[in-house]
Amino acid sequence: MCIVVTGIYIPVTTDAWAQRTQELDIKVDTIIDYCGDKNIVVLINAGEISENDKLNLYEFSIGFDKSKVKFIDVLKSGTLSENLEYVISGIQDTGVVRVSGFNVTKYIKGNKPIIGLLFRYVGVCNQKVYFDNRFTPETNENAKIKFEYSKIGESKLQIVDKPERSLKIEFSNDTIKVGLSELIKSVLIPNVPIGSSTKWLSIKLGLENQFVIDSAKLNDTSKVSLSIKNDILHYVSKVGNLGGSIPTSLYMRWINNTGEPIGITGQIINYDTCACISKAVSDTLYIAREELSSNRDNYSEPPNLIEVIHNSNVWELKSSEDMLRVSVYNVLGTLIRQFDERSYKTLIIDKRNIPNEISFLRIEFVNGKTTTMKLIK
């Protein structure tokens, strides 16, 4: 399978509210060595938005072949859209997803991606997938991607199907640079068989651009080494600030139904926060994200031990500590369901009662601690 991007239009202002539109033709071919269900993240990046820039809104549309990929949702975590007052996305029958976002009370600033789009690859093996800019904003008939600045700005469009290989298209004062960027090594992406369960314990990943992992403590008396090898990524699991240098600390181990440890494979990508995805044969499950300390020698204490057993229709949560409240949110932060006001160590959630493809679980414990998990049906 390869990804092709064509016909990009990005307007860059040269003075207050004046716009210039430049057309580019860009093609990226990246061969994927495996087939089947796969997540693809498309990142939209406007470069660094400085204190002098005044960006209140953005608007763009991405076209795709709906017979080969399915649009899942926008990804705001780790992007400039994370705290926007308003973000909306919509999809047409023709295979076009349109995204708009704006802030009324303050400008959008920073050097993170503006937003990410999550697609799921559903085509057969080795098919091409096309992403292009199609649907023009009503406010500008010539612009396919629109950013409003008060001065000359820098814009990027970044299409990622594997984090270690990405295309960057940069506009910097009318100078265009196009090139492949090798992003090296904070995301651990394990492949877990169906029927397995997950427990969180302290695991420390190496700080160098190598696949290194320390032993994970199973209990006070025994240890098991979990190996990480340079394998093809099954999923892109984080939209974040590329090139971060804060070390990664994860809490997890894998056991089978008899309680024995099983091996995992994955790849480390260096971001400033860390997320994990486990992939089962008939189910995909986001496990958790852990915010990190900027102190390289200071790793957090392991959170309360949580075991997640994923079956076709339910998630079963088991905790070593009493859970006080479990809240289910969608990607926009809207509360969907809540289980609270009682103490329990086991909770079964029926996936059929959760309308969203992507959900967040916030678990509050009796001892005052909290844990957040990101789940995909």
Per-residue model confidence as pLDDT tens digits over 59-103: 667 777 787 778 888 878 777 888 887 787 777 677 878 777 777
Lowest mean pLDDT among 123-127, 214-218, 328-332: 214-218
Cβ distance 162 to 2 under 8 Å?
A: no
Rg of the chain (C-alpha set): 21
Residue 46 or 352, more confident? 352
Task: Note the pLDDT of residue 55.
Answer: 64
Task: Note the pLDDT of residue 90.
Answer: 75
Task: Note the pLDDT of residue 338.
Answer: 86
Mean pLDDT score, 142-159: 32
The CATH architecture one would assign to domain 197-376 is Sandwich (2.60)
Which stretch, 59-63, 128-132, 227-231, has highest mean pLDDT? 59-63
DSSP string, 203-234: EEB-SSSS--BPPEESSSS-EE-----B---S
Q: Do 197-376 and 2-181 fall under one CATH topology?
A: yes
d(CA 117, CA 101): 13
Cβ distance 312 to 305 under 8 Å?
A: no
Phi, psi for 351 (deg, rounded to 5): -60, -30
Overall size of the chain counted in residues? 377
d(CA 60, CA 113): 14
Residue 366 has pLDDT above 80, yes or no: yes
The distance of Cα 17 from the centroid of its chain, to the nearest Å, equals 33
5, two tokens: 């991007």
pLDDT classification of 375: cutoffs 50, 70, 90: low
CATH, range 2-181: 2.60.40
Neighbour count for residue 338 (Cβ, 10 Å):
12
Cβ distance 274 to 290 under 8 Å?
A: yes
The distance of Cα 326 from the centroid of its chain, to the nearest Å, equals 22
pLDDT classification of 377: cutoffs 50, 70, 90: low
Task: Give the strands of the sheet with 69-75, arranged side by side.
Answer: 69-75, 115-121, 38-45, 154-162, 165-172, 175-181
Q: Measure the CA dihedral 298/277/233/250, to 10°.
A: 10
**How would you classify the pairing of strands 249-255 and 335-339?**
unpaired
Residue 31 has pLDDT above 80, yes or no: no
d(CA 101, CA 59): 7
Lowest mean pLDDT among 139-148, 216-225, 336-345: 216-225
Angle value at C-alpha 374, between 270 and 163, nearest 5 degrees: 30
Residue 349 has pLDDT above 70, yes or no: yes
Phi, psi for 256 (deg, rounded to 5): -95, -175
pLDDT classification of 141: cutoffs 50, 70, 90: very low
Residue 203 has pLDDT above 60, yes or no: no
User: Which is nearest to 83 in space by CA: 62, 108, 58, 64?
Assistant: 108
Angle value at C-alpha 336, between 331 and 339, nearest 5 degrees: 125
Residue 260 has pLDDT above 80, yes or no: no
Taken in order 323, 363, 330, 377, the sign of the CA dihedral is negative
Phi, psi for 252 (deg, rounded to 5): -170, 155
**Average model confidence (pLDDT) across the chain:** 50
Phi, psi for 363 (deg, rounded to 5): -110, 120
Cβ distance 129 to 30 under 8 Å?
A: no
d(CA 230, CA 253): 19
> What residue segments make up the domains of the chain, in order of their start?
2-181, 197-376
138, two tokens: 């009503």
Lowest mean pLDDT among 78-82, 223-227, 264-268: 223-227
Q: Measure the CA dihedral 268/269/271/276, to 10°.
A: -60
User: Which is nearest to 45 in space by CA: 234, 308, 323, 240?
Assistant: 240
Distances (CA, A) of 289 to 56, 211, 249: 29, 20, 10
Task: Note the pLDDT of residue 283.
Answer: 22
